[in-house]
Structure 1
Amino acid sequence: MTLGLINANPVVREIKDRVTRPADSHHESSAVDPLDIYDFVRDIRDPEHPYSLEQLSVLSEDSITVDEKLGRILITFTPTIQHCSMAPVIGLCLRVKLKDCFPPHFKVDIKVTPGSHADEEAVNKQLNDKERIVAAMENPNLRQLVDECVQSSEL
């Protein structure tokens, strides 16, 4: 779908087999488990390549932190290159996939890993501005791209 790849030769890593954890291994005090969140989003397809965010090392198990006391979830991701124009699309894919997954008192912040993007501040602002997110999702072409990336992870 994308013409002229921004990162034509990404490094692709092998996906680790997931070890199913017994229910009693979850933190008893944590209603929201970071590894469960990671398992839910790791298969989102990259907007530019036929690989998952996990395969491209855009996301890792350490990408997600939960602060139960503050009711905050932080998801960081690392674009494959410093000038990745797809970073906002990746953030939208994460938001769409995670929509309605958490108790209403949780705030989800999605950011690029510090130092991983040339326009880090602007991308982070865009990814966490409700009005910009709504406006982006009203664009039919962008919505279709996000849906394709998220749906391919559900197959």
Structure 2
Amino acid sequence: MVSGLINENPTVYEKKERRVRTDSSNTDEHSAEPIDQLEIFDHIRDIKDPEHPYSLEELKVLTEDSVELDDENSYVRVTFTPTVEHCSMATIIGLCVRVKLLRSLPARYKIDIRVAPGTHATEAALNKQLNDKERVAAALENPNLVEMVDECLLPSFE
């Protein structure tokens, strides 16, 4: 690929200040403290964009409002907004969010990853792909994809 970037000059936003927790932010299944929406956002806010040196929060791909939580029914939905309608990295972004949440949340949670309505040319296909267990499992057997996901999930040292 010569340039390869779909969105060469994305708009970059300021990160929101992290909230201070009074507990140890324990996500143990037996924890008395329920997990809340902002805690889940804190887990995914620093995922790096696959094409740019910015976090998904800085690109407004993810916001606090991206996360819906029904703790009583162990259900989490994250709706992300690609920076452009034809984003070729939308599947990788969704996979990164899913993997980060699978690694961070207790196993009892059902995770639903969605592209915001009207924000991607292949929205329905992406939503189906990101929530199909066999397709996700197959993607995570591909060493190149796993390497790309792991790179996006590396901690940022800003």
Q: Same fold (TM over 0.5)?
A: yes
Q: Deviations over 1:84-137 (max 9, x none)?
A: 111110011111111143333321100011111111100000000011011111
CA distance in 1: counterparts of 2:135 and 2:2, whole angstroms: 22
CA distance in 1: counterparts of 2:113 and 2:74, whole angstroms: 14
CA distance in 1: counterparts of 2:42 and 2:99, whole angstroms: 15
In structure 1, runs of 5+ residues without a counterpart are 24-28
Percent identity of equivalent pairs: 57
CA distance in 2: counterparts of 1:90 and 1:57, whole angstroms: 13
Give runs of aligned pairs for residues 1-150 of structure 1, distance below 5 A: 3-23=3-23, 31-150=34-153
Q: Which amino acid aligns with 1:16?
A: K
TM-score, scaled to structure 2 = 0.86
Q: CA 1:140–1:3 in structure 2 vs 1: closer, same or farther (change >3 Å)?
A: farther
Q: Deviations over 1:54-95 (max 9, x none)?
A: 000000010101113432110010000011111110011111
Q: CA 1:2–1:69 in structure 2 vs 1: closer, same or farther (change >3 Å)?
A: farther
Indicate conservation of the 8 Å contact 1:30/1:68, yes or no. no
Q: CA 1:3–1:129 in structure 2 vs 1: closer, same or farther (change >3 Å)?
A: farther
Q: How many residues align?
A: 150
In structure 2, runs of 5+ residues without a counterpart are 24-31
Indicate conservation of the 8 Å contact 2:43/2:104, yes or no. no
CA RMSD of aligned residues (A): 2.1
Measured after TM superposition, the shift of residue 18 of structure 1 is 1.6
Q: Greater shift after overlay, 11-20 or 39-48?
A: 11-20
CA distance in 1: counterparts of 2:53 and 2:40, whole angstroms: 22
CA distance in 2: counterparts of 1:4 and 1:152, whole angstroms: 25
TM-score, scaled to structure 1 = 0.88
Q: CA 1:2–1:57 in structure 2 vs 1: closer, same or farther (change >3 Å)?
A: farther
Indicate conservation of the 8 Å contact 1:6/1:84, yes or no. yes
